[in-house]
Amino acid sequence: SNLSLKDYYLIKLNRVDHGLQKASYHTTDLGNVGHYKLGKLLNADALIYGTVTKCSRLYGVVYSRVAIGAEIEMVDASNSKIIWKANHVELTHSGTPPFSPFSIPEKIVDSTINIRDKVVIDTANKLARKFVEDIPERKTTYFLREHVINIRNVGSMKEVHYKVQRKDTLFKIAKKFYGHGSRWRNIKYANGEIESASLRIGRDLVLPDVPVITNINDAELLDKEHYKKAVYEVKWGDSLYNIASTLYHDGTKWRVIYEDNKDEIENIKDLTVGQVLIIPLNSYPKHVSKGP
């Protein structure tokens, strides 16, 4: 939260774990994954690495000391250049030589309190504040782009959410996700009977009865008479060509998928892990271009 004051957006740890899990990586593998690959995997512009250099508690009856040190560096994910690096140590100590025998018990108590877990945590927080003060202000004006389509777990079910975009109507959204604009009422009643006139850019909508494909092969199990489209969350190594090859048994039909997602795909040769794509189930163009 301290970094947010310097205009940085921190990716939550559960999202980091989720991204690593999708690529079959463990945290112990991070040292062997290149910065660029890890940045794409986590949808991050920069990566922060840290090493604990000191962690000790010294207790000497009337004197105690807690010492915590770390070295942290921020790396540009696109070119592996170090943006910032620092090394700090934070000390918390208690106790001075007793001036009389009567003060010894008091010194022992103070010294014991100083090495409690709470003091260790407070010392770590002070160290963290030191690092944050050192981190340079973010100079770039680039912001991470938030995905327009998201899949959320609701109990044992998966629910599709969509953020309203400019010039959207319920009819257009229904056509985009169901293949038929006439199903706009499904969206209306799932979102408090919302009307097209009251749609606002960024408004989060629940899209009922949109199938979620965990694996592309699962598309074969869907009833094509009922479902015209589904959604799929991009995994590491996916490409439009590979998805089309699996789905349509013809990689050259990648443009079928691209046409339904062209407003969200920034680079047809480099899909973003975690991005959710709309997958047409039975709509193929007569003419297609060669793969990207």
Rounded Cα distance between 191 and 185, Å, is 10
Residues 104 and 153 in one domain: no
Domain-embedded: residue 56: yes
What's this model's pTM, rounded to 2 decimal places? 0.56
Q: In what order do the strands lie in the sheet with 64-76?
A: 46-59, 64-76, 82-94
Query: Dihedrals φ, ψ of 80, to 5°?
Result: 65, 15
Strand 212-213 to 229-233 pairing:
parallel
Which amino acid, 157?
Answer: M
pLDDT in tens, 29-76: 777 888 888 888 888 888 888 889 988 777 554 456 778 899 999 888
Domain-embedded: residue 170: yes
> What DSSP string runs through 215-261?
SGGGGGGS-TTT-SEEEEE--TT--HHHHHHHHHS-GGGHHHHHHHH
Residues 274 and 189 in one domain: yes
> Is the pLDDT score of 137 beyond 50?
yes
User: Quick one: CA dihedral 106, 110, 111, 117, positive or negative?
Assistant: positive
Domain-embedded: residue 230: yes
Residues 193 and 89 in one domain: no
Instruction: State residue 41's pLDDT score.
Output: 82
Task: Look up the CATH number of the domain holding residue 189.
Answer: 3.10.350.10
Instruction: State residue 117's pLDDT score.
Output: 64
Task: Look up the CATH number of the domain holding residue 79.
Answer: 3.40.50.10610
Count of domains observed in the chain: 2
Residues 122 and 168 in one domain: no
Q: Encoding tokens for residue 48?
A: 């922060």
Rounded Cα distance between 177 and 163, Å, is 13
* The domain boundary residue, chosen from 75, 109, 134: 134
Residues 17 and 130 in one domain: yes
Residues 155 and 124 in one domain: no
Domain-embedded: residue 289: no
* Number of helices (H), then strands (E), in the chain: 8, 9
Residues 227 and 123 in one domain: no
Can you tell me whether residue 128 is helix, strand or coil? helix
Residues 178 and 115 in one domain: no
> Is the pLDDT score of 238 beyond 60?
yes
Q: What residues make up the domain containing 234?
A: 149-280
pLDDT in tens, 104-127: 444 444 444 444 566 777 878 888
pLDDT in tens, 141-169: 344 456 899 999 888 899 999 999 988 99
Residues 224 and 109 in one domain: no
Residues 154 and 249 in one domain: yes
Domain-embedded: residue 181: yes
